[in-house]
Amino acid sequence: MILLQVVVGGLLLGAVYALFSSGLTLIWGMMNFINFAHGEFVMLGMYAALLAVLWIGGGPVVFGLAAALGLFLLGVIVYFALIREVMRGPMLAQILSTFGLALLLRYAAFWIFSPNFITLPHTALAGTINLAGILISIPQLVAGLAAAVLATLMHVALMRTAVGSQLRAVAEDRTAAMLMGIRPDRMQALAWGLAAASAGIAGALMAISFPFSPAVGETFALTAFVVVTLGGFGSVPGAMLAGLIVGLIQALSAYWFGPIYKDVVVYGLFVALLWLRPQGLLGTA
């Protein structure tokens, strides 16, 4: 029963990984652009949730929406102010631009919020629930289920809506999309907004259960890159599947070998899989 509880907990955490990693893979699929500041977007989502609770009050719906809206606007601003310009430059400029953005956001958060770990004030979500003998914390359950639903909705929106078709058209062929009347700048700005919003919501959901500081973005960025590479760059379903796998492996590794070894196991299996399948689980060769 304890093992089953560990598995459920790992899958719930993996759903949150899948949500914020889907945004990173969306940017790659749209623009062949790697956002090294994606982990800082998750971190800002945590602080957006904190400010929403302190200023507005309310539960996860309120501060989740606040984090989504705030990070969506930030993503659009980053695209028009920075990304659109550096895309015309060499790859090194693209890499250094988002790496510099990550440092800017991280140290701005240090300056504003201090480097200390903090937690969200008490919300309505507290305690544990017993599901067929499996004890799960209510914050973890809410975060995992909400993340799974939102990640699925993102995939459905990309595959089954007109806007999603336009996003995929720009990803396939920017010039052909322009000839069809699609404005690539708008679509790419929307992609950045959606990617940042998914990271912001994931951060807000994780803030329910975990203490955080401005430095956590680095950890989340590394996790996102592992998930995206494992699932296949550009594949949102791959990121969803890989997120669940990484969360499950972390939970089982912590249970069997101890918490300090969970990342060692994840990265070891990650390297082994890439050696056998470099394109990832659902990526194309």
Domains defined for the chain, CATH in brackets: 2-114+139-276 (1.10.3470)
| Residues in the chain, pLDDT under 70 | 1, 122-127, 132, 283-285
Query: What per-residue confidence (pLDDT) applies to 285?
Result: 58
Query: What per-residue confidence (pLDDT) applies to 47?
Result: 94
**Longest CA span, the chain:** 58
Specify whether the CB–CB gap between 40 and 99 falls below 8 A: no
How is residue 58 written in tokens?
């309310």
Query: What per-residue confidence (pLDDT) applies to 141?
Result: 82
Exposed, middle or buried by CB within 10 Å (0-12, 13-18, 19+), for 22? buried
Backbone angles phi, psi at 88, to 5 degrees: -80, -10
Query: What per-residue confidence (pLDDT) applies to 89?
Result: 77
Query: What per-residue confidence (pLDDT) applies to 183?
Result: 84
Query: What per-residue confidence (pLDDT) applies to 26?
Result: 85
Whether pTM > 0.85 for this model: the answer is: yes
Give residue-wise pLDDT tens across range 73-121: 999 999 999 998 888 778 788 888 999 999 999 999 999 998 899 888 7
Query: What per-residue confidence (pLDDT) applies to 125?
Result: 65
Query: What per-residue confidence (pLDDT) applies to 57?
Result: 75
